[in-house]
Amino acid sequence: MRVLLTGAAGFIGGHIADTLDHEVVPLDLATGDDVRDPATLDRLLPGVDAVIHQAAKVGLGVDVADLPGYASVNVCGTAALLAAMARHGVGRLVLAGSMVVYGEGAYDCPHHGGVRPGPRRAADLAAGLFDPRCPVCGSVLAPSVIGEDAPPDPRNAYATTKLAQEHLAANWARETGGTAVSLRYHNVYGPRMPRDTPYAGVASLFLSALLAGRAPRVFEDGAQRRDFVHVRDVARANALALAAGTEGELTAYNIASGVPRTVGELAAALAARTGGPAPVTTGEYRLGDVRHIVASPAKAARELGFRAEIPFTDGMAEFAGR
């Protein structure tokens, strides 16, 4: 199979290129190729059987000034790619989706069962009340696992554009009869992860601080739950997804370890591995952040045969270089 891989020089894209047992046609802005450029796409797509689309502007964004950049790269870039795939008869797409499309995760109320809370109020966050409340009775909620059928609820520019990518891919699949798979990555970490940038993931930010001799700064109370999945597991999921999906539809999968950890646990694990200073819990917050997002990877196991293989402790030791 001949596979066009966008974002091929990036963190996840590079690991996918290493993993695929197929001919890879790389496309990456770092090498001068722009996914938004029809001429570039028309040059690279002839003879391609499938596309793995990783190219994206990532992170939550710094402020509202980032909105045009996210829309240009993530939305317009994906639209240009899909239009070119239709021109050249390429009928299979694997998309780098994200768990951020869910917004807050799933929760259980002691009185009303499963609920999905709205955005947390700035006044509550400023008062140190970080856990979402039941939208019906105001009770503190317990986090639960979220499946792919949960309604999307994006909370920031990045999340909104990642959901737009899925909608565009679904449009393309219906209109062309193509097959589209969205792999909703949870918190990906591992070797070659970008560092020293405000758009990096939390694991990278913590490691950058520790290697500079600074304590990692943990927002809120450090109890926010995430699912940290190793980049080589994510690359393997992409390889498996090339053979998956239903014609004329978009199928989404949670790509996660299935073993949630708190952000405080992440910071502590990296500090222990590097011998750096202990994390500092600051109580700071960002309005675009969600409290807990815990995934069910059962569908990916059932339909793709994907199960994460790299344990958190081993992955963190490798990531920290210890």
Question: What pLDDT, in 10s, does the model give residues 1-25?
Answer: 999 999 999 999 999 999 999 999 9
> What does the buried/exposed string (b/e) look like for 97-120 if buried means 16 or more CB atoms within 10 Å of the residue's CB?
bbbbbbbbbbbebeeeeebbbeeb
In order of 41, 94, 133, 233, 284, the CA distances from 219 in angstroms are 41, 33, 19, 27, 5
pTM: 0.95
pLDDT per position as a tens digit, 288-309: 789 999 889 999 999 999 999 9
pLDDT digits (tens, 9 = 90+) for 229-268: 999 999 999 999 999 989 999 999 999 999 999 999 999 9
Phi and psi, residue 163, nearest 5°: -70, -40
pLDDT at position 30 is 80
- Tokens 């807050």 belong to which residue? 104
pLDDT band for position 66 (50/70/90)? Answer: confident
pLDDT of the residue at 46: 98
With 0-12 / 13-18 / 19 or more C-beta atoms within 10 angstroms meaning exposed / middle / buried, residue 123 is exposed
pLDDT-derived band at 197 (thresholds 50, 70, 90) equals low
Mean pLDDT computed over 161-173:
98
Largest CA distance in the chain: 59
Give percent helix, percent strand, percent coil of the chain, each to the nearest 5. 40, 20, 40
Residue 58 pLDDT level (bands cut at 50, 70, 90)? confident
Close Cβ partners of 150 (under 8 Å, ≥ 6 residues apart): 102, 106, 116
